[in-house]
Amino acid sequence: MINFIARRVVNMFFLLIVVSFVGFWIIQLPPGSILDVQIQRLRMQGGNIPESMIQALRDRYGVDDPFYIQYWKWVSRSLQGDFGTSFETDQKVAERIYNRLGFSVTLSVIALVFTWLVSIPIGVYSATHRYTWPDYIITFIQFLGLSIPGFLLALILLITASRLWDQPIGGLFSPQYADAPWSIAKVLDFLRHVWIAIVVLAIGATAGLTRVMRANLLDVLNMQYIQTARAKGLKESTVIWKHAVRNAIHPLVMALGTLLPALVVGETLIAIILSLPTIGPLYLDALRSQDMYLAGTILVMLSALLLIGNLLADLLLAWVDPRVRLE
């Protein structure tokens, strides 16, 4: 087992190095940089800017350095926890990212819990009541959830909600709660702002997991040990929940690792539509203004999240199913 973990971790580490290199290369591809925009702005404000000042700015940001030197500077500083200063706002990249990444992960974790709480019971119900009307309805809703793109659903929910009642638009808190300490009222206010995002995030994942749960449980219910359990005279609920569900739930455990990063990523578009201050809109702004350190850092961070999630999924699987370890 230790051998297995070590191999996976080393593998991930190498992959992360290559990913950061390629990621940074993609981000710096477009010609020009945010520095050009900034110089333009300074010119508009103050008329003529001495050439020496522009040169100083260029040196500071390392705009003229060849690509590999830029990359090396960026990586060596990142490893020390200093992600550089964002061109656009002069704020520390780390600060900007951590604030928003916190909200992104919070939203995703809530959506994840929601997904699990909903998809297991519904999947079980759907499998045990196969080919009944509720099963058809569940299948139909699953289909809708899988096939409508999340951002369109967010748009529709937002419009419906703001038409029907006083749905706050944008932001995470109402002004009066923004700086208040945490309280029940503040949590409720937070949920009122973000429920659409959570529902939209959860709905796609829930639809997928419910389907997986249903299919697995149907397979397991055909096993002989289920027949044996029933023959012993166990209660049906014990047969289902203790014998069948426990054996059908493995793929859902596996999905845990891949789901979290997927949710953090999926939140990008939805947050832009709902104007929530999370990582997605920040990334879009950074890309648009060619703020390459900020955009590069976010891209590599999201990749790291994905890789770590995959690693966790592999480890969980190896823990749950010993056969995997031998391969």
Partner 1 sequence: MATTASKLPKVAKGKKQEDVGQIPQWKLMVRRFSQSKLSVGALFVLGVMYVIMIFSDFLAPYPHDVLDSNNAFAPPTQIVWGPEGPGIYGLKQELDMERFQWIYTPDPSVIYPIRFFVQGHEYYFLGLFPSRLHLFGVEAPPEANARVFLWGADKEGRDLFSRVLKGSQISLTLGFFGVFLFVVIGSIVGTASGYFGGALDNLIQRLIELIRSFPDLPLYMALAAALPLNVPITVRYFLITVIIALVGWTGLAREVRGKVLAFRSADYTAAAIAAGASHWHIITRHLMPNAMSHIVVVGMLSIPGAIGLETALSFLGLGILPPAVSWGILLRDAQSVQAVVTYPWLLIPVILLIITVMSFNLLGDGVRDAVDPYA
- Confirm or reject binding of residue 302 to partner 1 (CB under 8 A): yes
Window 241 to 270, contacts with partner 1 (CB under 8 A): 261-262, 264-266, 268-269
- Confirm or reject binding of residue 146 to partner 1 (CB under 8 A): yes
User: Which of 42/284 has CB closer to partner 1?
Assistant: 284
Q: What angle do CA 174, 145, 283 make, to 5 degrees?
A: 50
Cα–Cα distances in angstroms (integers) from residue 143 to residues 147, 205, 206, 207, 237, in the given order? 6, 12, 11, 7, 28
Contacts of 75 (CB under 8 A, 6+ apart): 20, 24
Pick the binder of partner 1 from 127, 197, 305, 317 (CB under 8 A): 305
- Confirm or reject binding of residue 223 to partner 1 (CB under 8 A): no
Contact flags string 26-45 toward partner 1, x per CB under 8 A: xx-xx---------------
- Confirm or reject binding of residue 151 to partner 1 (CB under 8 A): yes
Cβ-based burial of 171 (10 A; exposed 0-12, middle 13-18, buried ≥19):
middle
- Confirm or reject binding of residue 124 to partner 1 (CB under 8 A): no
User: Which of 159/320 has CB closer to partner 1?
Assistant: 159
DSSP summary character for residue 177: G
User: Which of 109/187 has CB closer to partner 1?
Assistant: 109
User: Which of 131/182 has CB closer to partner 1?
Assistant: 131
Question: Around Cβ 232, how many Cβ atoms within 10 Å?
Answer: 9
Cβ at position 177, least distance to partner 1 in Å: 21
User: Which of 4/151 has CB closer to partner 1?
Assistant: 151
Contact flags string 126-145 toward partner 1, x per CB under 8 A: -----x-------x---xx-
**For residues 189 and 180, is the Cβ–Cβ distance under 8 A?**
no
Our measurement of the distance from residue 320's CA atom to the centroid of its chain's CA atoms, rounded to an integer in Å, reads 24
Answer positive or negative: Cα dihedral of 304, 309, 314, 315.
Answer: positive
- Confirm or reject binding of residue 119 to partner 1 (CB under 8 A): no
Cα–Cα distances in angstroms (integers) from residue 167 to residues 142, 159, 163, 177, 196, in the given order? 26, 9, 8, 16, 10
User: Which of 54/88 has CB closer to partner 1?
Assistant: 88
- Confirm or reject binding of residue 118 to partner 1 (CB under 8 A): no
